[in-house]
Every structure is written in C-alpha cells, then in structure tokens.
Amino acid sequence: MGRSPCCSSSSSTGEGLNRGAWTAQEDKILSDYIKNHGEGRWRKLPEEAGLRRCGKSCRLRWLNYLRPDIKRGNISPEEEELIVRLHKLLGNRWSLIAGRLPGRTDNEIKNYWNTILGKKQRQAPVRAATDGKKTQTPLAADSWVASPKDNNAAAQPVVRTKAKALECSSQVFIDNPKRPAGMASLETPPDHQASSITRDRMDPAQGDDDGRLLSMTAATNNGESNDISSADPLFDFQFEDTFLSDLLILPGLSAIPAFSSDIHQPEMGMQM
C-alpha cells in the first residue's frame, strides 16, 4: 500500500513529535495559526506553524477542543433525547449525529454515548422502545400539529407556529442538500396530496426565520391522512435536518399564504 501513516516515525515529519496532552502554548500556536490562515492543509500546518505535532493531531485538537463555536459539557435533556433518537436512526455515525447538535463534536457525543447513554440503553431497553413511538394523528386543515418532540414541549424554548394547510394540486418535494449520501429526498407519495406542514420558529424575537420543519402530512383522495415525515426512518432523519428553505413546491401547487415568502419554486426541468 502506498500511503505512509501521517504520524509514523518513518515519515519525514514523524521524528520527535510531541504526543499526549496538548499544552496551553501548543493550543495558542495552533489557534493563532488557524485564525490567521484558516482551516485545512493539516499536514503542512504543523511545519508552517512550528508545532511538533502531526497534522491529524492538530486537526483533532482544533475540531474537538479549540474551535471557538464549541460547546462543552452539560449536555441538556433535549440534546440527550435527540442523541438517542438519532442513534436509533443512524447507529454509530457520530459525525452525522454531531451535525445535528450545534457546538457538539462527534468525539464528545461518542464519549457521551459510550459512557452514559449506552449504559442507560442497556439498562432500560423497554423505555427505549417507547421513546421512538410516533403518533399518527390525522390532521385537519390549519391544524396545530404536534411532533414527537412535543412530549416535553414545555421544557423547550422553541415556539411552534401554526401550520397553514396546503391546498395541493401537485406534490411537495423536499430537497435537503445536507442529507447523507444514499438517502432519498422526501416527497409526497403519488397517490397523496400534502395537506399540512409544521415547523418550529427557532427564535421568536427574530420573527419568521428559516425554522426547522417538524412534520408533513399528506392526505389521499378518500380522506386518509398520513404523517409522511415519520413514515420512514431514513426520511425521518432527513426531514429533521430540513429547513423551510429546502422545501420545493412542484409546478401547479397553489400558494401557501403563511409561508409564501419562505418557499422557493424549483428550477425548471426538475425531476421527480
């Protein structure tokens, strides 16, 4: 195999590298360098910054510890619940899970799971089974829709907005650019029409921002109503990582007054 390990002693920069815990001085050198030059080029970084560390070690230190937007410790009950739900959907894909928790790192979540949540899950498998249960409430037009998250809504800072009914003559299509490779986008099934969309508003003080979508319900011609956002675990994850700006309305769908300014029309020739 042609690749030499980044930190191997035989590599050109591998001799005499520092290992183990980082010192405050090393942290400062790394932080200053990245502030001035930006992230990336990790293998060249130690040489250019004057650090006796391998590039991987620098990257890890920055991403897991020094990044300014990082949140440390005190994982809230809401975050814990989200970790549990996402782990059920995704398994040990820590970087994906971390992507859903602003300021948290994959390493932190992995450690948290291995030391706390994994233990809890093993001790309380019955509770875990009920946590993921979703209600399939039929929705009336203009109804206020509760997502599974709302079980403890009182403890959450987000404000749920009232959903406007979609008067559909076509399908709703959600294209989330952040979705993991291999996950399909969520769309209204062919024999359904989207009937209701709910979202949260992240910061009430900011007015109407690009809130996360919470659920989407579709109705068949005979009046049967289904929560299509929770119908499939893969969709469920993608949906939860979806913002209003990801919502596309196919040509022919009538306007939705409450959201009209938030929704963009798809490009011409878009395929289903």
Binding mask of the shown chain, residues 125 to 154, with x at each position contacting DNA by CB under 7 A = ------------------------------
3-state secondary structure of 199: strand
Cα–Cα distance, 260 to 254 (Å, whole number): 10
Spatial distance between the Cα atoms of 236 and 185, rounded to a whole number of angstroms: 10
Q: Is 252 in the site for DNA (CB under 7 A)?
A: no
Burial class of residue 3, CB neighbours in 10 A (0-12, 13-18, 19+): exposed
Tell me the closest approach of the beta carbon of residue 111 to DNA, in angstroms: 4
120 in contact with DNA (CB under 7 A): no
Q: How far is the CB of 87 from DNA (least distance, A)?
A: 10
**Which span sits near DNA by CB under 7 A: 65-73, 168-176, 218-226, 241-249?**
65-73
Q: Is 116 in the site for DNA (CB under 7 A)?
A: yes
For 11, 15, 40, 258, the CA distances from 135, given in Å and listed in that order, are: 57, 59, 45, 25
Is 31 an interacting residue with respect to DNA (CB under 7 A)?
no
Among 181, 221, 257, 268, binds DNA (CB under 7 A): 181
| Segment (H or E) for 128 | helix 125-131
Number of residues located near DNA, criterion CB under 7 A = 44
Which residue from 31, 52, 65, 156 is in contact with DNA, where contact means CB under 7 A? Answer: 65
By CB under 7 A, name the one of 73, 125, 207, 257 that touches DNA.
73
Which of 33, 34, 59, 139 contacts DNA by CB under 7 A?
Answer: 59
Contacts with 264 (C-beta within 8 Å, 6 or more apart), sequence order = 245, 247, 248
Applying CB under 7 A, among 30, 33, 51, 61 the residue interacting with DNA is: 61
What minimum distance in Å lies between the beta carbon of 103 and DNA? 13
- The amino acid at 135: T
Report d(CA 102, CA 225) in Å as an integer: 34
Based on the shown chain and the rule CB under 7 A, indicate whether residue 40 belongs to the binding site for DNA. yes
Closer to DNA by Cβ: residue 45 or 139: 45
Q: Pick from 52, 56, 67, 88 the residue near DNA by CB under 7 A.
A: 56
Contact 139, 223 (CB under 8 A): no
For the chain, give percent helix, strand, coil, nearest 5: 40, 15, 50
Q: What is the C-alpha radius of gyration for the chain, rounded to an integer number of angstroms? A: 23
Contact residues: DNA, CB under 7 A: 1-7, 18-22, 40-44, 53, 55-57, 59-61, 64-65, 72-73, 92-96, 106-108, 110-112, 114-116, 119, 181
